[in-house]
Amino acid sequence: MQEQTVKQSTADELLQLVSFNIGDEEFGVDILKVQEINRMVEVTRVPNAPEYVDGVINLRGKVIPIIDLRRRFGMPRKEKDKNSRIIVVELAGKVLGFVVDAVSEVLRIPGSVTEPPPSIIAGIKAEYITAIGKLENRLLILLDLERVLTVDEHEEMRKVA
């Protein structure tokens, strides 16, 4: 098993995050990983794609796979609505889109309000989670998008698009 290193935030370090919702949970990802956030568009289904892959879209001439984070996390499917968004990121040299229920805001939080995650949170495997942010009246689950897909799944995304 390869050794996993998690960069611990120093107490005075400011984390800049894009926060979004999936169901009742609020998540955050490093803003530097996010290329853009788009409204839902028509997604073209791809035969034999993994069940968490909605399909592909054409984004300014580039075909990118679209992953439904609800399905990836084992949550029930939900109809896309006016709040649904596609968060476009580049992971391992591949541009991907992640479908979320809604994007909330851009946050700056001090590293001092985060702590390592418990082993299982909201049914989501802890390997996806870098930390839990304790904000005034809510908890924010900080995701490591690089780990949402395994190495094999990254390779599969290359084949999808």
Is 2 contained in some domain?
no
- What local confidence, expressed as pLDDT, does residue 55 receive? 95
Is 47 contained in some domain?
yes
Is 90 contained in some domain?
yes
Is 141 contained in some domain?
no
Q: Which two tokens stand for residue 73?
A: 């996390």
| 29/107 Cα distance (integer angstroms) | 10
Question: How many C-beta neighbours within 10 Å does residue 49 have?
Answer: 19
| 4/22 Cα distance (integer angstroms) | 26
- What local confidence, expressed as pLDDT, does residue 74 receive? 85
pLDDT by position in tens, the chain (length 161): 333 334 444 556 899 999 999 999 999 999 999 999 999 999 999 998 898 999 999 999 999 999 999 998 888 989 999 999 999 999 888 899 999 999 999 999 998 999 888 766 655 666 788 899 998 889 999 998 888 877 677 677 777 66
| 62/151 Cα distance (integer angstroms) | 22
Is 128 contained in some domain?
no
Residue 37: which CATH number? 2.40.50.180
Q: Which two tokens stand for residue 66?
A: 């679209």
Is 142 contained in some domain?
no
Is 58 contained in some domain?
yes
Is 65 contained in some domain?
yes
- What local confidence, expressed as pLDDT, does residue 1 receive? 39
| 108/118 Cα distance (integer angstroms) | 23
- Tell if the pTM clears 0.95, that is, is over it: no
- Structural domain count, the chain: 1
> Which H, E and C letters describe the chain, residue by residue?
CCCCCCCCCCCCCEEEEEEEEECCEEEEEEHHHEEEEEECCCCECCCCCCCCEEEEEEECCEEEEEEEHHHHCCCCCCCCCCCCEEEEEEECCEEEEEEECEEEEEEEEEHHHEECCCCEECCEEHHHEEEEEEECCEEEEEECHHHHCCHHHHHHHHHHC
Range of the domain at 23: 19-113+150-160
